[in-house]
Amino acid sequence: MTETSWQNHVAALDAGLGEWQRAVEESTEEQLHESIPGFPEEAVWWGALSNLCTHNTYHIGQIIYIRKALGNWEIAADWA
C-alpha cells in the first residue's frame, strides 16, 4: 500500500466516524431506543452504538499495543 493510498483510507475512515458522531449528536433519546430497521435480529440503536464504541476501542488498543511493541509510537507534543 502506498502512503497516498493509506492516507486516503485514513481520511475515509475519519469521515465515516465523523458522520456517525454527528448522527448520534443529532439523535433524540427516543430515536436511540428505536429498533434498527432491517437488522437481522431485534436490536435498538443505543445497543448497536454501544457495541460499536466497544469494538472500536478494542481495535484502537490493539493498534497502540502493536505500534508500541514495534517501537513505532510517538506521542505528539500537544498530547503530552
The answer to whether 49 and 24 are in contact (CB under 8 A) is yes
pLDDT at position 1 = 79
User: Rounded to whole angstroms, what are the CA distances from 66 to 28, 31, 71, 73?
Assistant: 38, 38, 9, 9
- Quick: pLDDT tens for 29-80: 999 999 999 999 999 999 999 999 999 999 999 999 998 999 888 776 565 5
Give tens-digit pLDDT for 4-29. Answer: 998 999 999 999 989 989 989 999 99
For residues 25 and 18, is the Cβ–Cβ distance under 8 A? no
Looking at residue 74, its pLDDT comes to 77
Integer Cα distance of 29 and 8 in angstroms: 34
